[in-house]
Amino acid sequence: MTASTSPLERRYRRWLAWYPPSYRAERGDEIVAVLMEVAGDRTGDRLTPAEALDLVRGGLVTRFRARRSSASVAAWGEAVSVLACLAAVLLASRTAGYLATTWHYVRAPDWNSWAPWGTFAEMAFDSWPLSTPWLVAVPLLCLRRWRLASVAAVAAVLVDLAGVSVLGSGDPDWLRNVVGPWMLFSVLTALVLAQPRRAARGTELVGPRVLAAVFAVAVLIQGLQVARMQIRFETRVAAAGLALLGLLGARRWLVGTPPGRRVLVVLTTVAVPLAPLFLTRIVAGRSYIPLSEHPRGLMVAITLVALIALSAAVRRWELRRARPVADPTPSAG
């Protein structure tokens, strides 16, 4: 801006304050040039109400759009895609456990031990079709067949809904404590993976081979639990150890990239309230504690507070690392 700037131009620049500073730095002169050309030979140094409204609207839309398309939001999108792929693996391995339990029960109907994931063998026998499409969805993800994987994810939820309506009416306790939480988890996962673009991005970020390896290990652990007839301390330690090894192997991505940091935030957030519960189970020697005995309200509160606090901390840390943008707000006018 020069010393010969007209009063009208100074006013235009003042109204451009509605736009984000970085946007003004890049496009301010260009927009002012167009505004001045549109104004032409108009006398007077004030904006018309329509001009003012147009700049306010444009500024607000640009601010909203900048926030929505910010790197942080994009990183959260990628993190959600990755987490949905990992959740699909967990759901598929759990389904494999159900099927193995059913198979065990068919071979030895007198077997009445607690089966994996806190389900009576008879219940597993009754409800074996639940979630089976997840067993198809995960291999499809590994084979990069995104659209078919999306269809399988939606099918898993539909099969669960149909199964629960048939099986769950007689046992509301089973419905509330066993199926309910997993069903919610399944629905949330399917909501993400129903979008082939997200399924593709999540799998590519994890790596199809890594996803296949995690799936194989998860199924192996399920098989081990069924073979031992119940969830044992050593299988849990083995699962926790393998998960820790996986996290250590992916530490560069988890710490060094924006989506990785967000995945880490969510995993930590989930682990904060769940870890003491699992420890309680191990110490109490109980393989299954009904959901009604869990301090659910406290768990939700801890999870939310941890998620908000960790997300804000990561965002602040990233902003501190980023180079600050100079504010070109005009001094004159």
Partner 1 sequence: MSKPLQEPSFLILTALAAAPLHGYAVLQDVERVSGGRVRLRPGTLYTALDRLTAEGLIEVDREELVDGRHRRYYRLTGVGADVLAAEVERLRRIATAAARNLKLGGLAR
Start-to-end CA distance of the chain, whole Å, equals 11
Residue number, 223 or 333, with CB nearest to partner 1 = 333
Residue number, 62 or 195, with CB nearest to partner 1 = 62
CB of 57 to partner 1, least distance (A): 6
Structure-block tokens of residue 129 = 């079709």
Instruction: Work out the widest C-alpha separation in the chain, in whole angstroms.
Output: 96
User: Where in 69-98 is the site for partner 1 (CB under 8 A)?
Assistant: 69
CB of 32 to partner 1, least distance (A): 8
Return left, alpha or beta for 44; rule: phi > 0 is left, psi -120 to 50 is alpha, else beta.
Answer: left
The residue count for binding partner 1 (CB under 8 A) is: 23
CB of 196 to partner 1, least distance (A): 17
Helix axis angle, 146-167 to 196-206, nearest 10°: 110
d(CA 184, CA 291): 14
Helix (H) or strand (E) holding 102: helix 71-107
Residue number, 3 or 322, with CB nearest to partner 1 = 3
Interface with partner 1, residue 20, by CB under 8 A: no
CB of 280 to partner 1, least distance (A): 50
User: Where in 45-64 is the site for partner 1 (CB under 8 A)?
Assistant: 50-51, 54-59, 61-62
- The answer to whether 124 touches 298, Cβ cutoff 8 Å, is no
CB of 59 to partner 1, least distance (A): 7
CB of 15 to partner 1, least distance (A): 9
Bridge partner list, 114 = 120
Interface with partner 1, residue 14, by CB under 8 A: no
Candidates 6, 7, 33, 241; binder of partner 1 (CB under 8 A) is: 33
Q: Which residues contact 263 (CB under 8 A, 6 or more apart)?
A: 79, 82, 83, 254
List of long-range contacts for 175-179, beta carbons under 8 Å, 24+ apart? 176/291, 176/292, 177/118, 177/290, 177/291, 177/292, 178/117, 178/118, 178/119, 178/123, 179/127, 179/130
Interface with partner 1, residue 148, by CB under 8 A: no
- Please choose, out of 31-39, 213-221, 249-257, 317-325, the segment that lies near partner 1 by the rule CB under 8 A: 31-39
d(CA 202, CA 200): 6
Structure-block tokens of residue 9 = 């131009």
Residue number, 65 or 251, with CB nearest to partner 1 = 65
Interface with partner 1, residue 122, by CB under 8 A: no
CB of 55 to partner 1, least distance (A): 5
Interface with partner 1, residue 3, by CB under 8 A: no
User: What is residue 156's DSSP assignment?
Assistant: H
d(CA 251, CA 172): 42
Residue number, 55 or 219, with CB nearest to partner 1 = 55
CB of 324 to partner 1, least distance (A): 23
* Binding region for partner 1 (CB under 8 A): 2, 27, 29-31, 33-38, 50-51, 54-59, 61-62, 65, 69
